[in-house]
Structure 1
Amino acid sequence: MIDKQFAEHFAHDWIDSWNSHDIDRILAHYSNQFEMSSPIIAQIAGEPSGTLQGKEAVGAYWRKALALIPDLRFELLALLTGVDSITLYYRSPRGLAAEVLHFGPDRKVVKAYAHYAH
């Protein structure tokens, strides 16, 4: 079960990590077997399924994305807590976004689903 204290700490550290553009700090939140799904993956990584498997593949995608958007900055708007997941609702350079992050027993993210407003 995700408690409020863990969720709040994770959310603020996640936002700060992205805003620092420190890829190692960002990736520290994720398990090695991490799976990421996002419509942006198809555009930037060229993966038509929109899903990448493994921290290495996702890290390469995020490095490319950070290079394309050097002034990337996220602003946390809301945090929603589930059983073994949280949803981060935030403002990004593309507009409003939400990421649903599922955690493993070690409190590392094992699956993430990104959603964007049109």
Structure 2
Amino acid sequence: MKKLLLLAIAIIGITTFGSAQVKKGIQTVTIQTPTVQCESCKKRIEDYLKREDGIQKANVDYKHHVTKVTFYTERTNAENIKAAIANSGYDADDVKADAEAYKKLPKCCKKTEDGGGM
């Protein structure tokens, strides 16, 4: 009986400690994405970020040119997220879009100086 009680206390302690760790390791960042212009851009970035390890959710606001990303700090960081956005073809804060990925974007998603935009 005593062993059963100790086992139950140990399981409760581990469960409580484990759930506290997850909540503590979540962070949200807001990244300026000035080249995002339309719903297609929004979907492209959100879908790309879903595949990245550690990202819990991403929300692109193309009207205000910002992207909010919630992620697990143990798995990734803000710099990795900016690099992921750049790898999808868009500028992210001070990280410029990957040139090859940018070339593959549809015309509506490109900068106006490159003949794109709405």
TM-score normalised by L of structure 2: 0.29
Larger radius of gyration: 2
Higher relative contact order (CA 8 A, sep 6+): 1
More strand by share: 1
More helix by share: 2
